Structure 1
């Protein structure tokens, strides 16, 4: 029983840390902007709205932070009501939580990877597509986006670790001798 409580505490710590990194990622993306004078008095402002990948990344990381917050409250409520007793009577819910954790990890990773691809294109440009290197003009914007991407990948790794605890909770209910047969009580 103490191992279950230890895993629950570790999961709570991972969720809090993941929430912090997800919120930091969202804030870095949403509030980053830089304005430069292009020609004489014509100004160009770089924001996350200029790339769809950054918009999607902001919304996905916000949703993942909200999901992890809900799961954190759900786990603390179950822990308080049951005194830390995580028994195997909730197999269906354990599978649902495991699948939701998997979806959150993969969506966050995919959104960060799409943003990374867009940022790489902004950094290097593409002569074939006649796209200029945006990071030559908007250096601070690009550095801050790089920090946001780094935070997003750290959050993805933390959420993958959370998913392993969900997997443990699901698969500990099954017999080690028989494939996907529930343990007898």
Structure 2
């Protein structure tokens, strides 16, 4: 059975590389989220037949803007916190927070994806026609914002894996009952 002290130098050699990747990904999230917010908030198009369409008309877009703002703020705080030494182990905090952010970004991306699907395809069952032929520029900008949001989501998915590795590498692997019996017998 390995001792935790024996494995500590091996895992601590990876910490600087992981910390660099972690901070880089968190720093990447900030401009991606800010660009998503800017593209979405400034998105509007006027149509002489149907009127003006703005992001504030669609709840899913407002939700994505809120989640993008939260993710940018969290990423900034997390970058600063990762370089500040304190007595508290932040691995669990980052693990839980990264998971929550990834889930929130998935939900907001799904909401916008649903809006885009309806905008491109419509829903004949409830007499909704597609809208992107009338609001093409609006739909294109929402597509771009969704792509940037998806990139930020990918960053958080990798961050969630890194933070999970950090948390669970602090513990020894579980020992099977067979190994315990063999250890007692010897």
Q: TM-score range by the shorter chain?
A: 0.7 to 0.9
Pairing 1:7–2:18 present: yes
- Could you state the TM-score of these two structures normalised by the residue count of structure 2? 0.83
Partner of 2:166: 169
Aligned with residue 58 of structure 1, among 45, 65, 69: 65
Pairing 1:73–2:70 present: no
Aligned with residue 48 of structure 1, among 35, 52, 55: 55
State the Cα distance separating 1:75 from its structure 2 match: 0.8
Partner of 2:98: 101
**Per-residue displacement from partner, 1:95-135 (whole Å, max 9, x unpaired)?**
22201110000101111111101111011111211112111
State the Cα distance separating 1:177 from its structure 2 match: 4.1
Corresponding residue pairs, total: 165
Structure 1: how far apart are the matches of 2:20 and 2:139?
37
Do 2:29 and 2:71's aligned partners in 1 also have CA atoms closer than 8 Å?
Answer: no
State the Cα distance separating 1:178 from its structure 2 match: 3.5
Bigger radius of gyration among the two: 2
Partner of 2:126: 129
State the Cα distance separating 1:4 from its structure 2 match: 0.7
- Could you state the TM-score of these two structures normalised by the residue count of structure 1? 0.83
Structure 2: how far apart are the matches of 1:178 and 1:158?
34
Q: Give the RMSD, CA atoms, in angstroms.
A: 1.7
Structure 2 unaligned residues grouped into runs of 5+: 1-11, 177-186
